Amino acid sequence: MIQIAIIGSGPSGCYVADMLAKKLPDAQVDIFDKLPTPFGLVRAGVAPDHQHTKNITRQLERILLRDNVRFIGNVTIGTDISYFEFKRHYHIIVIAIGATLDRPLNITGDTLEGVYGSGEFSRWYNGHPEAAALNPTLSQNVAIIGNGNVSLDIARLLSKRSAKLLGTDITRQALEHIHHASIKEIYIIGRRGAADVSFTPAELQEITALPNVEIIIDSTQIPEVTPSHISDDKRRNTEKNLEILRQLHASNQQHVADENNIRIHFIFSATPIAITGTHNQVAQLLLTKNRREVTGITATNEQFTLGVGTVISAIGYRTASIPDIPYDHNKGTLAHHEGRVEPGVYAAGWCKRGPNGVIPANRADAMNIAKTIIAEWEHTVSPPYKDGFAAISTLLDKRNSKSVSYNDWYKIDQAEISRAQDGKPREKFTRISEMLALLDSR
């Protein structure tokens, strides 16, 4: 039997597991996760009000229920079990741990109170145990740095009245925190121009439907025609985005200003260069205006400031390094060659190619890695015996580390669903200790 370990139970890990379980019938596929809960970014990164996207967990659930697939949660590679121990007891290892570290702004003042990474912030409102205690400062004026979908998610959630979030799986603590904040102005800031944003048109369109929100855009920042530097593969989305931005500007021109509304400002071609504060708390964001030249984006000598008390940076993510596993510090990913980390060890998803692409893109990448593995292993005759999870389980017992099975996860899942109120699909446990205590009581 071929023993396969998948490290990470998000979409990439699950998709690789599914194909390997189908195409290598004489294989046992064990999916490990550091949390007691599976599904990675779908559970802890997708916006709570995007339940249609989160419903993909139903598909991933079916993968975990395959006869030759086993979920093992609450086990961290490099801490509970070393990389070398995994290699000793498994023929194949696929690392699919995503990219969870926020890229820092690396400017003066980025460690002040009130500065957050978007990954940390989204994990907070999604109830991830590592961010449950964040308790972020939400001032009247909030700056979000970055022109991708995550920036739109955060702006949208901060703009919604609590009643609009009741049907979501946002945590009760985050819901109350946002409800009691007195947010008035939200600035979405990108270093490139309006034609270069990474928004998907569908996400941008959602902003147009927000009630009690005014959108502020300087029309001179929206080009009348799609710039020539936009590549053909991006031209269609760019044209859609520019049309939506024009509509947002025109719509706001027709509305009478209401002081009770939240105002979302889109600011393009600007880069933050410093954050200043008083008493260790953010007070101002200093920016420089940019211009596009043949060689790319160039900073000008023109600067301006925004009075904000909260800064959320959404400029990308890095994969966390794991002891003894090759790492590419320049790219912020695992070091690999076409997905191969070293013989018998592979990378998939964001830890392989960086934090870009939605779930379907991760599925395609996972399928490619799975095909590579199958081509290298399907004709292997009598591989040397390895004992897989039997050995790992023994090591965990010796170390008093409690792993979580699929049946355990099912109990956690059902308890979260039963705790839900006010039309919410679930009320998540936000501490691992709570989950383990639940399992010990049953």
Binding-site residues for FAD, please? 12, 41, 77, 350, 357-359
State how far the Cα of 360 lies from the Cα of 122, in Å rounded to an integer: 21
Beta bridge partners of 290: 299
State how far the Cα of 281 lies from the Cα of 278, in Å rounded to an integer: 5
Q: Three-state secondary structure along 65-106?
A: CCCCEEEEECCCECCCECHHHHHHHCCEEEECCCCCEECCCC
State how far the Cα of 332 lies from the Cα of 351, in Å rounded to an integer: 8
Beta bridge partners of 102: 317
Helix (H) or strand (E) holding 268: none
- Tokens describing residue 225: 């025609």
Give the count of beta carbons closer than 10 Å to the beta carbon of residue 293: 8
Give the count of beta carbons closer than 10 Å to the beta carbon of residue 216: 15
State how far the Cα of 78 lies from the Cα of 82, in Å rounded to an integer: 4
* Binding-site residues for NADP(+): 147-150, 191-192, 203, 357
- Tokens describing residue 113: 């109170």
* Binding-site residues: 12, 41, 77, 147-150, 191-192, 203, 350, 357-359
Distant-in-sequence, close-in-space partners of 414: CB < 8 Å, separation ≥ 6: none
- Nearest CA to 26 out of 58, 67, 73 is that of 67
Find tokens 């939400």 and name the residue.
138
Maximum pairwise Cα distance, the chain: 75
- Tokens describing residue 218: 């300087």
- Nearest CA to 120 out of 101, 148, 139 is that of 101
- Tokens describing residue 176: 């109350």
Find tokens 């399928």 and name the residue.
367
State how far the Cα of 435 lies from the Cα of 412, in Å rounded to an integer: 7
